[in-house]
Amino acid sequence: QIDYTGTDPSSPCNKCLNVSWDSTPPCTCTINFTLEHSFESNVFMYYGLSNFYQNHRRYVKSRDDSQLNGDNSSLLNPSKECEPYRTNEDKPIAPCGAIANSMFNDTLELYRIENNTRTPIPLIKKGIAWWTDKNVKFRNPTGDGNNLTALFQGTTKPINWPKPVYMLDSEPDNNGFINEDFIVWMRTAALPTFRKLYRLIERKNNLQPTLQAGTYSLDITYNYPVHSFDGRKRMILSTISWMGGKNPFLGIAYITVGSICFFLGVVLLIIHHKYGNRNTSADIPN
């Protein structure tokens, strides 16, 4: 995990700490780090946020699923649940709501440093969203042709976004409402400290690890402000084994529930042993 919030004065990202949504030009910083061990299989690159409450009731409701599913009438007349991010300058916002308005928009690039030479690590941006989200829940508006600029005509971008939704990507199958970065963000987190999948690093062959042990650098285009609410940002590299990913939650939950059941079993056994052999006859002596 690499924390790049920049609260530490010695951090290269400290100069970007008070960045705003519309900072021009965007603030950039670079953090060097070392991998002590190689990553053998496919690597998952996440961004993590702390003290960000995506589970707030009004925040969770602030979206229009019909609009996100490509309904043309909802595109121009979003749900009132999106207030106050429903319209801007008398134009409907697409996508509307607080969730979309606060979409994470830092750009992360990874490089390997060897002999003072920086080699970029290919980061795959497709395949990071759930299949049901990408193919069922999110759809672009329909109309004549596939020109998204024309299909989104009459709408405006969310207030905090630097560009409209139809300019999120240059590839047609990853643009608009079906952009996978957008889809991942719209699946809200249950806890205030969370991570979301950002990119994939695929293993090229079985002879070399995906990421060799050594020195790397993380180039950050710092757009997302978190200092105002004491939030923190981090980049996480993770991999999986044949047993899956390293997540202690299920193990802790099983041990906790098992311990409670064992304790209650002992208590009930003692109660049964002490009181279970009593004469329960209701006969009244003469």
Contacts of 236 (CB under 8 A, 6+ apart): 1, 2, 45, 46, 47, 48, 195
**Mean pLDDT across the stretch 126-152?**
90
pTM recorded for the entire structure: 0.83
Residue 179, pLDDT score? 96
Q: Render pLDDT for 39-53 as a digit per residue (tens, 0 to 9).
A: 988 999 999 999 999
Please report where in the chains the tokens 């990553």 appear, as a residue: 39
d(CA 7, CA 174): 34
Lowest mean pLDDT among 177-186, 206-215, 242-251: 242-251
d(CA 157, CA 184): 19
Residue 274, pLDDT score? 85
Please report where in the chains the tokens 């991999």 appear, as a residue: 239
Taking only Cα atoms into account, the Rg of the chain, rounded to an integer number of angstroms, comes to: 26
Look up residue 153 and give its DSSP letter.
T
**Amino acid, res. 57:** R
Residue 231, pLDDT score? 94
Residue 40, pLDDT score? 86
The answer to whether residue 285 scores a pLDDT higher than 60 is no
> What H or E segment, with its residue span, contains residue 113?
strand 107-114
By the 8 A CB rule, do 230 and 53 touch?
no
Q: How many residues does the chain have?
A: 286
> How does the average pLDDT of the chain come out, rounded?
90
β-strand partners of 114: 117
d(CA 41, CA 240): 7
The answer to whether residue 236 scores a pLDDT higher than 60 is yes
